[in-house]
């Protein structure tokens, strides 16, 4: 007999879109739901998404529940800076589908790069990412969530 969760999950229809034209209020709600500080800079966030090489989104009943974007040189390298799914929709395959769609667009590129928080490493490994040899990620970061 299916569990309560699997019944609920099977009833949810997720629609995926590739568009940079996004409703600001829904974008901000999504970023706030995962406590990303980019939501505190709405003008910059929306501009960043609009200027991305590509953006893939997930929608349930007209609500934005997931988003991934890519920045790329269009030939060799792609970087995935923003990848998020609303907490109540995590562990339902939405993140995997978003990443699959982004990676398909950049199939054959020399490098696919991202920075993963410790709690997300196992997810990215399932998507085919591995640690980049002995490299260390470095940054100048002005947010609060990565203490």
pLDDT tens for the chain, 147 residues long, are 444 444 444 578 999 999 999 999 999 999 999 999 999 999 999 999 999 999 999 999 999 999 999 999 999 999 999 999 999 999 999 999 999 999 999 999 999 999 888 889 999 999 999 988 888 878 788 777 765
Q: What is the pLDDT of residue 1?
A: 41
> Is the separation of the CB atoms in 36 and 144 below 8 Å?
no
| Rounded CA Rg of the chain | 16
pLDDT on residue 6: 43
**Alpha-carbon gap, residue 106 to 113, rounded angstroms:** 11
Q: Terminus-to-terminus CA distance in the chain, angstroms? A: 44
Name the pTM for this structure. 0.85
Do 97 and 58 touch, CB atoms closer than 8 A? Answer: yes
- How far apart, in whole angstroms, are the C-alpha atoms of residue 51 and residue 49? 5
Class of domain 12-126: alpha beta
Structure tokens at 70: 């890519």
CB 33 within 8 A of CB 87: yes
Q: Does residue 124 contact residue 116 with C-beta atoms inside 8 Å?
A: yes
Instruction: Tell me whether residue 68 is exposed, middle or buried, using C-beta atoms within 10 angstroms of its C-beta: 0 to 12, 13 to 18, 19 or more.
Output: buried
In this predicted structure, what is the pLDDT of residue 42?
98
Q: For residue 119, what pLDDT is reported?
A: 86
Q: 74: alpha, beta or left, given left = phi > 0 and alpha = psi -120 to 50? A: left
């Amino acid at each position: 007999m299916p569990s309560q969760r699997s019944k609920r999950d099977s009833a949810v229809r997720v629609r995926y879109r590739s568009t940079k034209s996004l409703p600001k209020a829904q974008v901000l709600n999504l970023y706030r739901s995962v406590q990303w500080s980019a939501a505190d800079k709405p003008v910059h966030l929306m501009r960043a998404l609009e200027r991305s090489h590509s953006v893939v989104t997930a929608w349930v009943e007209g609500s934005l529940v997931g988003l991934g974007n890519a920045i790329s040189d269009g030939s060799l390298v792609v970087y995935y800076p923003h990848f998020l799914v609303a907490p109540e929709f995590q562990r339902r395959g939405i993140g995997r589908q978003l990443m699959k769609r982004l990676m398909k667009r950049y199939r054959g590129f020399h490098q696919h790069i991202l920075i993963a928080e410790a709690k997300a490493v196992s997810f990215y490994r399932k998507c085919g990412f591995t640690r980049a040899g002995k490299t260390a990620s470095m940054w100048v970061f002005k947010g609060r969530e990565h203490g």
